[in-house]
Structure 1
């Protein structure tokens, strides 16, 4: 008789699917045993660290459309080939080319002093010599939304919404809303420029950049982020009750279009090579730092997971694909292009997950799969338990960042949630550097991805990928 713990994954799968009907997707016992071995091997494998260290040291920052973007692409192609993937190729991605040259901001009156600032991606520049204008401040996006246009017209709008650190990073919804929608809203009310408290959780003089968007018919205005300490200073000055004037000079803007590429590598499956588990991260980064946690480590984690799977005596039944996506930062361009190119054969992408929240420990797994595959996800989760990963069967999983676009056209999604407590201290700043990565936590990520990828590739049955399958996603099933 098998020990109860050995039988538990199969019992879980049976219990979950028995009340659903249909043929359940299940993972064979032999695959579960192999996955447990992979898990332990991955905890001692340094492929992900070596990849991340190499990319951030030999290339560095990888602003989409820059010279380093092209350099990084060639570096990754060479590295994928050197690591032994059977097939490596690229798929073109075209997007607006945004260029940053310089930025400067200062309080001119009533108390003259410089401000630490970074232009937002897709912001236009100011006229030569900059602009000087009075500032009107708001403590939230909703406060700006409710403001009368007469209060805003001709002024520099400042929004000081604050983020706080959480393991699930949920306050990023506050900061990213102000950053992405604030400049357009301010422009629609007649503002001359826009400033925000950086979308971050740190207290430093390093501002956080990131993309912004302008609604159709709204004139783009110069937009930038203040370091949190400088945002504090501006708010103290505003509270003095005197008119506050800021001079802002941004030399940046969109210069036509650029064609980059998604870089894709594949380990060919032994029985169903045309079906695949897809994982990866985005190759581009913002330019102040070296893009270590956002997102060299994400690509490195997927590469590390594929590497330990490749070392097995036999390939899993399905293929394993690793994708280094182009220009995620300015609007998921790589993910959207990948989804458009593969929408017709989306059923072949049986399940997918992307790493794009740093490199700290994965603590939770969620998924959006067909009901009959819920038991198989429970089996995967059981193998992940020794790594400290919990399973929330009630929450959906879109696969993450770029893969959310593939999920939107029908790919079953697996979300592997990293601890984001520290992530938004460094996100989009000059502090996004290799020293922020803990090698032990990085290896835990690799172990989680290796288990998930291998077991999905070995599953008997599918996870529900089909055109339009998750169009109404929002629940755990």
Structure 2
């Protein structure tokens, strides 16, 4: 009897250490070779950015992008293609202008922050008051701010993994409210950016009920430096701001979904996603046309080789990520009853790559299986990471509900040079980088769709 228990224990240990069948691994090799000889991902981004261009949520470009994605998915031969409606706000930036009027008259490069109100007719002309950080503004004496344009000059640091973004982006989202509480007439924000180029970086901001809505704009890094130098010469710098931002109310966009139906466990879902919308300044190539190209190509490679995965692979192109993860939340709410059947989710939304690290949020008992998966990615240059990922912006709404996620970390060293600017265009994508990223997603989707490992319950994220 003891020998029987020992044999069962050894068999169980071997299964845990080898979560993939020989056939699954053999086909993974074929997929790797196919993906690394394909330009499918770059071709998808080229098509999207050329034929559709910018895709601001709620705009005509957004509607064209939905139609483009649906037609492409149908042409690729997905088993199921559908649109799921999402109610979203439709905002338009309109005309924007700012200039120093006293004592050193000259123009400034600005862009409206998404969701900002416009200025009164004729604009606002007021002194500026500078703060190094949002916290400094929040701690300021209201008398110092009242009637002025609050200028937050928080410079972002450059990191491969983009971790300099979080500490700075809070000022973009919350700065106008903090300034309005002090009686400010408007907000000028140093662009959330690592670039030295004279582009202003847009992005969403938010108002709260009961606090006055004031206009909010981002200024380019060089212009922020210029204002700071001016203030060192004369503390009474005056700026005129004109903004024609418009709120068009609510409209409908769509999450676009395509599926490869699983052969033996079709009810279980491996989700790979990206967001379809973009800001309107560039053509949304890096953010997030590249992600659309990566996950679309990954499914395309699996379809091309015609071998069915065990689980269903679902590609989701989310609506309205840029203005608050609205499509992601709509997906979460619409699929509440089947979230327990989501085996794992991952999202490509950090440029074109290359991918250098594989992070997870799965049950600790599944970590050996995740190491085995990473070993299949290692020939593509991917190392094993941590077990604390959120999986990407859109899929980050799923771990609090128990859904396992993976993070395929992309090299974002220069991502925030172009992020949310007119410079986010196709020429910034290196074909060899997006090819590698698509190959990694191909193997990830295939291996996860065939893995023999229990990923739940996951370590719950801290609030």
Normalised by the size of structure 1, how large is the TM-score?
0.92
SS in 1 for 2:233: coil
Q: Is the contact between residue 260 and residue 314 of structure 2 (CA under 8 Å) also seen in structure 1?
A: yes
2:390 is matched with which residue?
398
**Equivalent residue pairs, number:** 453
**Which residue number in structure 2 is paired with residue 294 of structure 1?**
287
SS in 1 for 2:433: helix
Out of 235, 245, 248, which is 1:242 matched to? 235
> C-alpha distance in 2, partners of 1:32/1:195?
54
Aligned to 1:27: 20
Q: Of 58, 64, 73, which residue of structure 2 is paired with 1:71? A: 64
Quick check: 1:59 aligned with 2:47?
no
SS at match of 1:166: coil
Equivalent in 435, 447, 463 of residue 439 of structure 2 = 447
Match of 2:122 among 117, 125, 129: 129
Deviation (angstroms), 1:33: 2.7
Deviates more, 1:145-154 or 1:277-286: 145-154
Q: Which structure 2 residues correspond to residues 265-304 of structure 1 after superposition, within 5 A?
A: 265-304=258-297
Question: What is the aligned partner in structure 2 of residue 335 from structure 1?
Answer: 328
Work out whether residues 188 and 218 of structure 1, in 8 Å CA contact, stay in contact via their aligned partners in 2. yes
Instruction: Please state if 1:366 is matched with 2:359.
Output: yes
Q: Given the alignment, which residue of 394, 399, 402 partners 1:407?
A: 399
Taking the aligned partners of 1:219 and 1:410, their CA distance within structure 2 comes to: 38
**Residue of structure 1 in register with 2:3 after alignment:** none
Aligned to 1:419: 411
> Which residue does 1:6 correspond to in 2?
none
Structure 2 contact 18–372 (Cα < 8 Å) conserved: no
Structure 1 residue 315 corresponds to structure 2 residue 308: yes
Write out aligned runs for 1:173-184 (5 A).
173-184=166-177
- Asked whether the equivalents of residues 399 and 461 of structure 2 are also in contact (C-alpha less than 8 Å), the reply is no
**Is it true that 1:429 corresponds to 2:421 in the alignment?**
yes
**8 Å contact from structure 1 (residues 361, 441) kept in 2:** yes
Are 2:192 and 1:204 aligned? no
CA distance in 2, matches of 1:368, 1:238: 47
Kindly state the Cα deviation for residue 382 of structure 1 after the two structures are TM-superposed: 0.6
Contact 2:369–2:453 under 8 Å retained in 1: no
Superposed CA deviations along residues 261-316 of structure 1, whole A, max 9, x for unmatched, are 10000111111112111112100000010000000110110011111111234201
Q: Is residue 104 of structure 1 aligned with residue 97 of structure 2? A: yes
Distance, in Å, in 2 between the alignment partners of 1:299 and 1:248 is 36
What secondary structure is seen at the aligned counterpart in 1 of 2:94? strand
Give the corresponding residue for 1:138. Answer: 131
Moved more, 280-289 or 171-180: 171-180
Q: Aligned residue for 1:195?
A: 188
Report if aligned partners of 1:339, 1:409 keep a CA contact under 8 Å in 2: no
* Pairwise CA distance, 1:341: 1.1
- In the alignment, the residues of structure 1 paired with residue 14 and residue 411 of structure 2 have an alpha-carbon distance, to the nearest angstrom, of 30
Q: Distance in 1 between matches of 2:382 and 2:421?
A: 29
Residue range with higher mean Cα deviation, 267-276 or 414-423: 267-276
| 3-state SS in 1 of match to 2:286 | helix
Partner of 2:6: none
Question: Counterpart in 2 of 1:20?
Answer: none
Give 1:220's match in structure 2, choosing from 199, 213, 223.
213
Separation (CA, whole Å) in 1 of partners of 2:260 and 2:30: 19
Query: CA separation in 2, counterparts of 1:203 and 1:131?
Result: 28
8 Å contact from structure 1 (residues 25, 463) kept in 2: no
Quick one: which of 142, 162, 169 aligns to 1:169?
A: 162
Distance apart, 1:122 and its partner CA: 0.6
Q: Give the CA deviation at 1:372.
A: 2.3
Whole-angstrom CA distance in 2 between matches of 1:16 and 1:29 = 12
Structure-2 separation of matches of 1:462 and 1:293: 34
Unaligned runs of 5+ in 2: 1-9
Distance in 1, Cα, partners of 2:212 & 2:454: 47
1:147 aligns with 2:135: no
Following TM superposition, by how much is the alpha carbon of 1:68 offset from its aligned partner in structure 2, in angstroms? 0.7
CA offset at residue 30 of structure 1? 2.6
User: SS of 1:114's equivalent?
Assistant: strand
Residues 338 and 406, structure 1, Cα contact 8 Å, conserved in 2: no
Structure 1 residues 12-60: Cα deviation after superposition (integer angstroms, max 9, x where no partner): x95996xxxxxx8922233123223312221111111111100000010
Matches within 5 A, 1:351-390: 351-390=344-383
